Amino acid sequence: MENLKNSTDCKETVSPLNSGSFLNSTVSRRDGEAMGFVLVHAGAGYHSESKAKEYKHVCKRACQRAVDRLRAGGMALEAVTAALIELEDSPFTNAGTGSNLNLSGEIECDASIMDGKSLNYGAVGALSGIKNPVLVARRLLSETQKGKLSAGRIPPCFLVGKGAEQWAISHGIPACPTEKMTTKFSLSGYKRNKRKMELAEQVETKRKRQSCEHENDFGCLEPVGDFMVEGEENNSACLDTVGAVVVDREGNVAAAVSSGGLAMKHPGRVGQAAHYGCGCWAENARDISLHSTAVSTSGSGEHLIRTMLARECSTAMQAENTHQALLEAMQNKFISSPFLAGEDCVLGGVIVLRCCTCGEAQRSEDIQALLVEFLWSHTTESMCVGYMSAQDSKARTHISRLPPGAVAGQSLAIEGGVCRLGTMSD
């Protein structure tokens, strides 16, 4: 994938009528070598220049972990789990360690994972006390594949709250107290936002005590701004959910997503990262005329839930022109969605992967070549992504940003690439 190394120089697209940048590359392999591809994201939100190095570094590590699993013979589900664990363990992401604290000062995480081959899905919501929520989601998925429980009971695929924590521990996933998952960064943000809430409540209480004719006499009675990550003057700063999509050597796809949720959220709130069809989607092609697709989302959970954006983008990827299809999906199914008609700032982002067998491999039972198309799009100020094939020596990373003049929540950026994973003779 040497041709992809200049992807950070590609122009971003903000108009739904324009074409974006596509990058082409061919990766060959010798028989017996691993084959596969991974695309990860460290969130659609705002990524400051001061922390750009850290965000890119964690994306590189996540790609490397996934590729290590692919090279060891692992399938897509194993690889995507490995990538998510790395993303959750980073103190710079809002997932697992370093997650935003809720109103009670606790960490509650959401995560989900989907296997394109079996179409099985596992998810957890408002989960506390577990270091890597994706491991619980993955275990739930695995348990559903074993069939019914005693007395014919149907095994759960989605658990929340205390019940999810108890289930995880009973299935061998170790507990981890909130204080060990809390970072100085997340704690300082919580304390600052709590002070802002208290001030806002004081202002509101005082406002109610004043008559309308005197209300404007009080210069201090100004609205208190939105919650922001320390040092970030941006409404979309806290939306850094993480995720990954993978295709393995057999053409199977998998997707996963994990999030600590919005800062100062109400305890028990469950975001898009846990909802079916909203946080992630993966589906192997069921017919030779179709493509396998995998999607992972990030952004404002309520916006993504109401539009089921992950599944909408997956469906759109069956069109001939992937770039145009994703652009139209983001514009028509998200920004201009009738389900978000009352919103003037629609915040979200997606990473999308689609693949199919190509060339003579279509006539063979053994997959020898895969055509992988990968894209990312966002309406937030920025989105950090990384990607790598099993033949690459290192991952490529990129922080995509809206160009100057673009309005977050109303404009979108879109980029992508094409990679052919094929065989080569000795």
Longest Cα–Cα distance in the chain: 86
The first and second tokens of residue 353, run together, are: 């992967």
Instruction: Return the closest-CA partner of residue 37 out of 309, 352, 259, 288.
Output: 352
AA letter at 1: M
- From the number of C-beta atoms within 10 Å of its C-beta (0-12, 13-18, 19+), residue 376 rates as buried
Rounded Cα distance between 61 and 59, Å, is 5
- Active-site option among 13, 93, 182, 241: 241
> In sequence order, what are the residues at sequence separation of 6 or more whose Cβ sits closer than 8 angstroms to the Cβ of residue 195?
none
Rounded Cα distance between 203 and 100, Å, is 25
Rounded Cα distance between 36 and 88, Å, is 22
The first and second tokens of residue 97, run together, are: 């360690």
Looking at the DSSP assignment, which residues form a beta bridge with residue 400? 383
DSSP element (H, E) containing 165: helix 161-170
Q: Tally Cβ neighbours within 10 Å of residue 52.
A: 14
Residue 241 appears among annotated catalytic residues? yes
Which sequence positions are flagged as catalytic? 241
